A and B are shown apart, each in its own frame.
Chain A
Amino acid sequence: MASAFMQGVGATTALSSANYKNSCFASPRSLPERKGSFFVIRSDGSLSSGLNPRNSRRGTLSTNAVATKQDNVTASTASKPGHELLLFEALREGLEEEMDRDPRVCVMGEDVGHYGGSYKVTKGLATKFGDLRVLDTPIAENSFTGMAIGAAMTGLRPIVEGMNMGFLLLAFNQISNNCGMLHYTSGGQFKIPVVIRGPGGVGRQLGAEHSQRLESYFQSIPGIQMVACSTPYNAKGLMKAAIRSENPVILFEHVLLYNLKERIPDEEYVLNLEEAEMVRPGEHVTILTYSRMRYHVMQAAKTLVNKGYDPEVIDIRSLKPFDLYTIGNSVKKTHRVLIVEECMRTGGIGASLTASINENFHDYLDAPIVCLSSQDVPTPYAGVLEEWTVVQPAQIVAAVEQLCQ
């Protein structure tokens, strides 16, 4: 199994001190050292999930020069077969590994302990780690999120689970004011290494309030990072990265993706929070997507390939900040951009991404950016109505055809 380790030389301590110096800013070539004790293994995944045929090593074009040192022994097939599991199990595995590794990592949320989590992400952990490390909280989102922040300020590394992301609307005060801003307003004295995670997105007729996409509401909060996982492989990798990050990270999971099955490596690996994932390289059009819409896009891609198109599909993964390198390289190659997201049309991630691409890569575009988002409608209960609020593969195909005329 190909792997690359990078160990910094204490560079990260320099980053977080209040007396922040320039010492860590060396040339790009020395960038890998800056990762400190954060080692990233790019494994050659034998991903036979059948959902997307490529986990492209050709994606080196996007990530090579940047944050991870790409090792070149990727051509070989995996020396170990890895193990198959479902997405929620991958999340649990990542969580458990981090809890084993660092006793300060703890979980807080409703029904995370004895119940094992409403989506079984924390199943069995309370039995193993105890009721204090996997804390069943009363139904008080604002307060237990604030409690997690206070605990993070005083040395712990809590993971807050929102039973449904929508419930975190009740914690907006704490997430915006304290989670995002405390590091700054304290002049860098206190860090908030929390992870806030939970399922969001449109499910199967869950009704308007349980079908919310909070990434658009949170994206303006300064000081937080947002990532969205979409496969068991990246779910585990992002979970581990988020826990190890000194920044507050919001990890968006999707209600309908928890039962995805995939084979993931046996070796430990941690992914990069700020990077996008090349799903399918192509030439004609760049399709940017994340979370569940990745699968609608890949479904549309099959149709498009049959029709003779060659779409490049990128799962942006990092919703804040955007990986403008991967995205930019793609735009420079294809000159056409289609964004497919589940967010609302107004003020969503797609809106920000459109603005960002226009600002940075305007000269490379041959056509205006097309953004397919969900309708600005509270998700209806009726199945047919719900279907019409969300972007479907047929719409994606039509949009690409339109774009590539």
Chain B
Amino acid sequence: MACSATAKIIHNPLLLSSSRSAEKSDSCCKMLGPSSFLGSTSMSKKLVSVNKGASRVSRRSANVVAVSSDVVKEKKLKSSSAASSLLITKEEGLVLYEDMVLGRAFEDMCAQMYYRGKMFGFVHLYNGQEAVSTGFIKLLKKEDCVVSTYRDHVHALSKGVPAREVMSELFGKTTGCCRGQGGSMHMFSKEHNLLGGFAFIGEGIPVATGAAFTSKYKREVLKEDCDEVTLAFFGDGTCNNGQFFECLNMAALWKLPIVFVVENNLWAIGMSHLRATSDPQIWKKGPAFGMPGVHVDGMDVLKVREVANEAIARARRGEGPTLVECETYRFRGHSLADPDELRDPAEKAHYATRDPITALKKYILENNLASEAELKAIEKKIDEVVEDAVEFADESPVPARSQLLENVFADPRGFGIGPDGKYRCEDPKFTEGTAQV
């Protein structure tokens, strides 16, 4: 296993000689057009976080170290210069903080509500991964599209879907963003260009590719002024799925304005990423298809934001897709039904110390961007927003029977012509939801 890993790295000496390992993907993309990626971390951080299979991993690391040591040096230089120039303004900092706190508070409330029997089925919570959602989505315009997976509550919130609508949807009420018809795993919003919410992993990636295709089509065929970008979020498990690779190919081939964001939280339910993947370094799969692949510390919202900025700008300029692997972690189980007994408590503890909200708070306070009181005020505000969302959802009505058949077809003539010669949808019972169709 290690030998093959060796072969993979040494096989292209060009990559080794490039000065920054995380930018070694650049040497590939230099052929396409140079762009530098700031904020990427070295491989070594990734290795610390994994306790299991240490020997195998460290053998692999032995091959990477030669390359990554340069990066460590680079990082030290950068961090000293970073102190003098802040990465965000106060306003930006507060926006980011508020968004992450909203995500966390909302998900915690979901857990409470689930155990109180207000929502059912499969509910997948995002605790711990907030930096990825906030880091990326807060850079988007309203017209940009986001495609997610079943772990989509926080993507919806970051994109601007009101907490009330998300909570109502979870409660299965008619005021939910999908009228109660989608549920936890199918958050959609036409207004905010959230294209789902998909239950099967990987099936959202082609949809995102299609949204990016529309953007290119608008520009090149319809001659509209369109620089809309699409973000596709998915996990480490999805990166072994065919649709992932097929879409990397098509997106790079047609230079679609899309960013593929891998939320690598190392676990696909109970399957460790290392046990499922021959080469666990997902960012490397980007250059294989002709796009830059970047690895970033997904627990640090500022680093994610830097990388996201560059990737989104690249897409807007028409230079094509980017694959961004965010190393992140989910503090809770896969879903609320998952007992989460398989993961090493030491691993969980390690990542708990890297809580992205705590990290941002520290950064804000250390750099005097805001006071403790201001941050507390935000937390209080969010608590009220979440409480209000629950209240709203509680008081909202359940869907009426009439809603049953309404949205099956955009054109309800699709239900066909009944024996009496009339379209089925004309049957008065159709609006009651009791017609035979």
Which residues does A use to contact B, with CB under 8 Å? 12, 15-16, 18, 20, 22, 25, 28, 31, 65-67, 103-104, 106, 130, 132-133, 137-138, 140, 142-156, 173-174, 177-178, 182-193, 222-223, 225, 245-247, 273-275, 318, 320-326, 328, 360-361
B310 located at the interface, meaning its Cβ lies under 8 Å from any Cβ of chain A in the complex: no
B289 CB → nearest A CB, Å = 11
Q: Mark contacts of B174-196 with chain A using CB atoms, 8 A cut-off: 1 yes-contact digit, 0 otherwise.
A: 00111111110010111000011
* Beta-carbon nearest neighbor of B413 in chain A: A274
Are A150 and B423 interface neighbours, CB within 8 A? no
Residues of B within 8 A of A31 (CB): 422-423, 426
Interface: B211 (CB within 8 A): yes
B188 touches A189 (CB 8 A): yes
Instruction: Give per-residue flags for B396-437: 1 if the beta carbon is below 8 A from chain A beta carbons, else 0.
Output: 000000000011111111111111111111101011000001
Q: B41 contacts the other chain (Cβ, under 8 Å)? A: no
Cα(A369)–Cα(B247), bound, Å: 48
A-B contact pairs, 19 of them (CB 8 A): A15-B411, A138-B249, A140-B250, A143-B242, A146-B206, A154-B211, A154-B215, A155-B214, A174-B203, A177-B200, A183-B408, A184-B407, A186-B181, A188-B410, A189-B188, A189-B190, A191-B410, A225-B409, A323-B416
Complex interface: chain A residues within 8 A of B217 (CB): 106, 132-133, 151, 156
The answer to whether residues A142 and B411 also contact, given A190-B188, A324-B417 and a CB cut-off of 8 A, is no
Which one of B209, B214, B406, B412 lies within 8 Å of A143 (CB-CB)?
Answer: B209
B residues in contact with A152, CB < 8 Å: 210
Question: Does B269 sit at the interface, judged by CB under 8 A?
Answer: no
Q: Is the CB of A150 within 8 A of B250?
A: no
The reply to whether B422 and A143 form a contact with Cβ atoms under 8 Å apart is no
The verdict on A154 contacting B417 (CB below 8 Å), with A138-B250, A187-B182 known, is: no
Look across to chain B and name the residue whose beta carbon is closest to the beta carbon of A184: B407
Q: For residue A145, which residues in chain B have a CB less than 8 angstroms away from its CB?
A: 206
Closest 7 CB pairs of A and B: A150-B210, A146-B206, A321-B416, A187-B179, A187-B178, A186-B188, A150-B207
Contact partners of A318 in chain B: CB under 8 A: 416
Complex contacts, A153 vs chain B, CB 8 Å: 195, 207, 210-211
Query: Min CB distance, A371 to chain B, in Å?
Result: 20
A12 to B: closest C-beta gap in Å: 7
In the assembly, what is the distance between CA of A322 and CA of B424, in Å? 11
A154: B residues at CB distance < 8 A: 145, 195, 210-211, 214-215
19 additional contacts, CB 8 Å, given A189-B178, A321-B415? A16-B410, A28-B421, A66-B423, A132-B221, A138-B246, A138-B249, A143-B242, A147-B209, A149-B210, A150-B210, A173-B200, A174-B206, A182-B196, A185-B186, A188-B406, A190-B190, A225-B414, A247-B414, A322-B416
Query: Which chain B residues border A247 with CB–CB below 8 Å?
Result: 409-411, 414
B298 close to A (CB within 8 Å): no
Could you tell me the distance between the alpha carbons of A25 and B203 in the complex, rounded to whole angstroms? 36
| Chain B: minimal CB distance from A332 (Å) | 9
The reply to whether B421 and A325 form a contact with Cβ atoms under 8 Å apart is: yes
Once bound together, how far apart are the Cα atoms of A103 and B224, in whole Å?
12
A108: nearest residue on chain B (CB-CB)?
B213
Beta-carbon contact of A15 and B410 below 8 Å: yes
Contact A143 B419 (CB under 8 A): no
Given the known inter-chain contacts A31-B426, A151-B213, A321-B414, please indicate yes or no for A187 contacting B206, CB distance below 8 A.
no
Closest to B409 in A: A247
Which chain A residues lie closer than 8 Å to B196 at the CB level?
182, 185-186
| Interface residue B197 (Cβ < 8 Å from any Cβ of A) | yes
Contact of B206 among A150, A182, A191 (CB under 8 A): A150
Question: Chain B residues near A140 (CB, 8 Å)?
Answer: 242, 246, 249-250
Q: Does B6 contact A (CB under 8 A)?
A: no
**Interface residue B86 (Cβ < 8 Å from any Cβ of A):** no
In the complex, B216 has a CB within 8 A of chain A: yes
Cα-based distance from A282 to B243 in the complex (angstroms) = 51
Contact between chains at A325 and B206 (CB < 8 Å): no
Question: Which residues from chain A contact B188 at a C-beta distance below 8 Å?
Answer: 182, 185-187, 189-190
In the complex with contacts A153-B195, A324-B418, A138-B211 CB distance below 8 A: no
Interchain CA distance A246-B189 in the complex, whole Å: 19
Is the CB–CB distance between A186 and B178 below 8 Å? yes
Give complex CA distance A323, B188 in Å.
33
Residue numbers in A under 8 Å from B423 (CB-CB)? 31, 66-67, 274
The distance in angstroms between the C-alpha atoms of A155 and B247, with both chains bound, is 20
* Nearest B-chain residue to A224, judged by Cβ: B414
What's the least CB distance linking B219 to chain A, in Å? 10
> Within the complex, what minimum Cβ distance (angstroms) separates A349 from chain B?
14
- Asked if residues A187 and B407 are in contact (CB atoms below 8 Å), the reply is yes
Chain B contacts for A190, CB-based, 8 A: 188, 190, 195
Contact of A142 with B242 at beta-carbon distance under 8 Å, contacts A31-B423, A66-B421, A275-B417 already known: yes
- Check B222 for interface membership: any CB of A closer than 8 A: yes
Say how far B291's CB is from chain A's closest CB, in angstroms: 15
Does B344 touch A at the CB level, under 8 Å? no
* Interfacial chain B residues near A147, Cβ < 8 Å: 206-207, 209-210, 213, 247, 250
